[in-house]
Chains A and B, each alone.
Chain A
Amino acid sequence: MRKFREPGYFLLFIGMSLAGVSVFVLIPFADVVRRSFMTVMSGEFAGLDNYRTVIGNQAFRLAVGNTLHFVGVAIPLLVVISLAAALVLSRIRDIRVIKSLYLFPMALPTATVVIVWRMFFYKQDFDSLVVSYLWKNTGYTIVLWLAGIAGIPNELVEAARVDGANGLQCLLFVKLPCLKGSVYTIVILSFLNSMKIYREAYLVGGSYPGKDIYLLQHTFNNWYVNLEFDKMAAASVMVAGVLFVFILLFQHYSQR
């Protein structure tokens, strides 16, 4: 399908957004890149010193480790649990009430349940963080999977049935391959939501929580409060760079 080629109108419509994004994010981020090579006090060129300091920083290392640990455990758990639930739910009629119950945590501001979290998660350990992530995001991910499952052509499943495939074979060889396309979306959005777990960690544990739940966001926040902008700049550039490369690779491989 050919679309209307008209750069002028494209710019007219996207102009405001592009201008705002440039002024508030892109240009200042370029400035942060520049600052990451400078000393914070005298503004002299410092080469890679800031990067070395950050990489050698104990708190930063701990935070990177914890964040990767969290992402590596919580996202696969979320994706698999919600896929299993969605596969079952897709075969049941009238699931509106069930979906409401599972989506409901999304409507609860963290601040209102934090007092409940403080009661049950007073140990501030890693598991409680994973549980609250699953608690909040399972409904969201189930809805995404259900949309993917609804997109599987019925004829495919029927044809496999006629050919004598049993339920498990249908699942493994017909349904799951059809859902590959949804995986990209779901992992990306699960990642986006996994970064918001900082709210729970911060509200339950404060700026210096238990050692297991000290996340990258804590480090940034503490540097910000202490005005250690040189470290912040170098760390921002590194995190943004890693994410950028990761997204490009992920996009590349998932669209093949």
Chain B
Amino acid sequence: MRIKRFLRMATEAVTKFIFIAAGIVICAPVFLVVTGSVMGQGDLYECLAPVFQQGTGFVSWKLIPQYPTVENYIHLLFYSPEFFVLFWNSAKLVSLILLGQMLVGVPAAWAFATYRVRGKNVIFTIYVVLMLLPFQVTMLSSYLTLDSMSLLNTHWAVILPAVFGTFPIFVIYGGFRSLPIALIEAARIDGAGELRIFWLLGIGLGKGGILSALVLGFLEYWNMIEQPFAFLEDKTLWPLSLYLPEISWTQAGSAFAASVVMLVPSVFVFVMGQDYLEQGIVYSGLKG
């Protein structure tokens, strides 16, 4: 018996070890970006040249840079004012999109979760299809609308279509579905109005889904590429996510440092909101 228990614990420990080792490999790109950001121009050149110049060969990477330096960060933070504009663009776009998504999506999710109305399933299915349509398929229709509203090449061209995206509705809906219906009925019998019920029960008790949608939304829109590329011509309006890849490899130092700065908010949200992130993933598993 004791041997059996020992064997089981041993297998568990070994399995865990294998999973963690694989997980560390998965996270390796971050180490590369971080070490790259503290390498000097010469070191980087030596490492990257084989790939970017000849297009063959392999990158040789030093896990611990020989001469760590903060020159990349200093250059970025003190001598590149355009970086702040781009960072601010990203922050503005993401916060306005998330704010709008909540204003629109929370009531919509509540409607799906609490009312039984004819035609609800039709709307639900349409929303599922809209969620799954790749951006490029609706790009032309968005373009035509935004053009007719003269919103092209303004931040609203990116914000407004995203606000009416249907993905967050399903995540918030998942949170509302976990509320017991008996609770809502009890509130109705006690004479609470529908708006009051929405406010107290929906927002009050269903905020797990709302926070989950915020975490997932942040990670998604902080990483936005297609929308600004299609609708923003003026590069001073671009978010960081679109601008970073434009930096050529000969300025790899700044690119790495900018990447690290861009990573910080994402990683912060990830670490603070991991529980909501997992919850949100589960909620996004839509059950009609």
Q: Which residues of A contact B (CB under 8 A)?
A: 1-7, 9-14, 16-18, 20-21, 23-29, 31-32, 85, 88-89, 92-93, 95, 97-116, 118-120, 122, 135, 138, 140, 143-144, 147, 182, 185-186, 188-189, 191-192, 195, 198-199, 202-203, 216-217, 220-221, 224, 229, 232-233, 236, 239-240, 243-244, 247-248, 251, 255
For chain B, residues 248 to 288, give those with C-beta under 8 angstroms from any C-beta of chain A: 249, 252, 255-256, 259-260, 262-263, 266-267, 269-270, 274, 277-278, 281-282, 284-288
Main secondary structure of the interface of A (DSSP, over half): helix
Say whether B27 faces chain A, with CB atoms less than 8 Å apart: yes
User: What is the number of contacts between chain A and chain B, taking CB atoms within 8 Å?
Assistant: 272
C-alpha spacing A105/B133, complex, angstroms: 23
C-alpha spacing A243/B128, complex, angstroms: 11
Are A217 and B55 touching (Cβ within 8 A)? Answer: no
Q: Which residue of A lies closest to B28 (CB)?
A: A116
Are B29 and A236 touching (Cβ within 8 A)? Answer: no
Identify the stretch in B65-73, B76-84, B136-144, B203-211 within 8 Å (CB) of chain A at 4 or more residues: B136-144
Known: A16-B107, A108-B29. A233 touches B225 (CB 8 A): no
Q: Return chain A residues, CB-CB under 8 Å to B166.
A: 17, 21
Q: Return chain B residues, CB-CB under 8 Å to A247.
A: 125, 128-129, 132
Q: Return chain B residues, CB-CB under 8 Å to A2.
A: 116
Q: Return chain A residues, CB-CB under 8 Å to B191.
A: none
Are A199 and B225 touching (Cβ within 8 A)? Answer: yes
Q: Which residue of B lies closest to A244 (CB)?
A: B129
Cross-chain contact of B245 among A1, A32, A203, A236 (Cβ < 8 A): A203
Query: What is the minimal beta-carbon distance from A99 to any residue of chain B, in angstroms?
Result: 7
Cross-chain contact of B20 among A97, A113, A192 (Cβ < 8 A): A97
Report 27 cross-chain contacts, Cβ distance below 8 Å, ordered by A residue.
Answer: A2-B116, A3-B116, A6-B115, A7-B118, A10-B117, A16-B103, A21-B166, A25-B138, A27-B145, A31-B144, A85-B19, A101-B24, A102-B23, A109-B223, A109-B241, A115-B255, A115-B259, A116-B33, A119-B32, A119-B48, A191-B132, A192-B167, A216-B136, A217-B136, A220-B137, A221-B139, A248-B125
